[in-house]
């Protein structure tokens, strides 16, 4: 009887987890569709430490992919949408796992400059061709890079990252080459309430 109860609880926990993930995916799709129709993502702003969010993602990634993910962290407290920013980090990490070379390290780095958060995710592997680096952020576009590598496609993950970045008054950029690997940089103001006329940083 006890084994049955434990098994039922385990099944219920997995079902709840799947339901929550599905709800998150639906929200992500709706937010991204709204953004690409000209509306900002509706943000639920709160004050928190981005380092805590990244550590949560790191713990989940280690369970899923092993000890590939390292974090160069620092405490940076800002005003952002916690759920949306966490999905950004998850999407960038999942993208790095999917398109990076198997078994190579993935690195998240946190930095703050000029009252802006710079969150980067780096992976090794085949670079994204320069003429495809814009379309990977466009909804419903499938990069030739993904097709040529037998991937399922870019989906809505990276377009959602752009929607969240720009709705916070920031940007998402990518630097990719054979020598340097691929780095995505998520750049947003530390105070997400300051959306109007917010400057963005280029990768240089």
Domain coordinates in residue numbering, the chain: 43-189
The whole-model pTM stands at: 0.76
**Overall average pLDDT of the 123-137 stretch:** 89
CA nearest neighbour of 122 among 149, 86, 145, 92: 92
pLDDT at 184 over 70: yes
Higher-confidence residue of 33 and 103: namely 103
Q: What pLDDT is attached to residue 17?
A: 39
pLDDT at 51 over 70: yes
pLDDT at 124 over 60: yes
**pLDDT confidence bin for 27, thresholds 50/70/90:** low
**pLDDT confidence bin for 35, thresholds 50/70/90:** very low
Paired strand residues for 117: 112, 188
Question: How would you classify residue 144: left for phi > 0, otherwise alpha for psi between -120 and 50, otherwise beta?
Answer: alpha
Higher-confidence residue of 40 and 12: namely 40
Question: Is 3.10.20.740 the CATH number for 43-189?
Answer: no
Higher-confidence residue of 52 and 25: namely 52
């Amino acid at each position: 009887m006890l084994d049955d109860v434990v098994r039922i609880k385990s099944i219920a926990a997995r079902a709840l987890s799947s339901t929550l993930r599905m709800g998150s995916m639906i929200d992500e799709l709706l937010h991204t569709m709204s953004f690409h129709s000209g509306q900002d993502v509706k943000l639920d702003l709160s004050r928190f430490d981005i380092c805590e969010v990244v550590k949560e993602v790191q713990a989940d990634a280690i369970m899923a992919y092993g000890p590939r993910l390292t974090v160069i962290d620092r405490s940076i407290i800002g005003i952002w949408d916690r759920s949306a920013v966490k999905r950004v980090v998850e999407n960038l990490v999942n993208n790095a796992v999917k398109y990076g070379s198997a078994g190579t390290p993935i690195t998240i780095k946190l930095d703050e400059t000029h009252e802006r958060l710079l969150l980067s995710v780096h992976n090794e592997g085949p670079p994204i061709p320069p003429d495809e680096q814009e379309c990977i952020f466009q909804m419903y576009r499938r990069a030739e890079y993904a097709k040529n590598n037998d991937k399922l496609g870019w989906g809505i993950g990276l377009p959602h990252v752009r929607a969240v970045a720009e709705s916070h008054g920031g940007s998402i950029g990518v630097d990719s080459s054979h020598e340097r690997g691929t780095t995505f940089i998520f750049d947003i103001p530390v105070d997400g309430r300051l959306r109007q006329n917010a400057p963005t940083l280029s990768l240089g």
